[in-house]
Structure 1
Amino acid sequence: MLISNIEVIPGKRITKHLGMVQGNTVRAKHAGRDIMAGLKNIFGGELKGYTELLTEAREEAVSRMVQQAEAVGANAVINVRFSTSSVAAGAAELFAYGTAVFME
Structure 2
Amino acid sequence: MIIVTTEGVPGREIVEVMGLVRGATVRAKHVGTDIVAGLRGLVGGEVRSYSSLLAGAREQAIDRMSQEASRLGANAVVAVRLETSSVMSGASEIVAYGTAVRLA
Q: TM-score with structure 1 length normalisation?
A: 0.98
Name the SS for the 2:21 alignment partner: strand
* Counterpart Cα distance in 2 of 1:102 and 1:77: 8
Partner of 1:28: 28
Correspondence for 1:38: 38
2 CA distance for matches of 1:54 and 1:21? Answer: 21
- Aligned CA RMSD, in angstroms, stands at 0.5
Unaligned ranges ≥5, structure 2: none
Counterparts of 1:12 and 1:32 in 2: how far apart (Å)? 48
Q: Which residue of 2 aligns with 1:71?
A: 71
Name the aligned partner's letter for residue 70 of structure 2.
E
Sequence identity percentage: 53
Tell me the matched-pair count.
104
Deviation at 1:99, TM superposition (A): 0.1
The Cα offsets for residues 62-84 of structure 1, whole Å up to 9 and x where unpaired, read as 00000000000000000000010
Q: 4+ runs of 1 displaced by more than 2 Å? A: none
Corresponding residue for residue 17 of structure 1: 17
Aligned counterpart, 1:93: 93
Displacement after TM superposition at 1:33 (Å): 1.2
Tell me the SS of whatever aligns to 2:66. helix
Question: Structure 2: which amino acid aligns with 1:95?
Answer: V
Aligned to 1:5: 5
CA distance in 2, matches of 1:86, 1:46: 20
Secondary structure at 1:77 match in 2? strand
Pairwise CA distance, 1:11: 0.5
Q: Report the alpha carbon displacement of residue 15 of structure 1 after superposing the two structures with TM.
A: 0.3
Structure 1 portions without partners, runs of 5+: none
